[in-house]
Amino acid sequence: MKLQSWQKNVLSALFITVGAYLLFFLGFLLMGLLARVGVMLMRDSVFLTPGLFARILFGITLLIGLWFVSRSKLPDMLKATYFTLPLMAIYMTIGIALYPEPDLVLVGVGSLVTGAIFFYLYKQKLSWEYYFATIATAITALLVLLLDIQI
């Protein structure tokens, strides 16, 4: 039995969603590991706290991964799935940086970021899977905010 186009699209969307949540879990584990390494290495540092060291190292790791994945010959479904991890890191960084601000400010800034990402996707002529990954990640970040889920 051959799958129809809409069935393939539904399976792609399901794969991106499940893959994104697995990557979020692994990303938080990696961040925890990097924070642990930061505590060991930066214990006596005056200029760099262990938490900041871990965030910088995590960001660099995500950017290097994004660079390699985006230039690979992987299918768009896998690339879009990986795209969710740095995107969620951006949304969580916004949430942490603007934590004392009203929720409406966070939603506004997150919406601006999402709009900028859509513009980038449009200019790069990327597939619908990237748009889906962006929407799914933005909705997840919004739910974390509205349901007051502590990360």
pTM over 0.75: yes
Residue 44, pLDDT > 80, answer: no
C-alpha distances (whole Å) from 131 to each of 3, 50, 110, 121 are 22, 35, 15, 7
Q: What is the pLDDT of residues 46-71, one digit of tens each?
A: 777 777 788 888 889 899 999 999 99
- Maximum Cα–Cα distance across the chain: 64
Asked if residues 86 and 66 have their Cβ atoms less than 8 Å apart, the reply is yes
Are 86 and 30 within 8 A, CB to CB? no
Of 14-23, 50-59, 111-120, the poorest mean pLDDT is in 50-59
The CA distances from residue 97 to 87, 90, 101, 108, 126, in Å, are: 15, 10, 9, 14, 30
Two tokens at 102?
Answer: 């009203």
Q: Give the pLDDT band (50/70/90) at residue 83.
A: very high
> What is the distance between the terminal CA atoms of the chain, rounded to a whole angstrom?
43
> How large is the average pLDDT for residues 24-30?
90
Radius of gyration of the chain (CA): 17
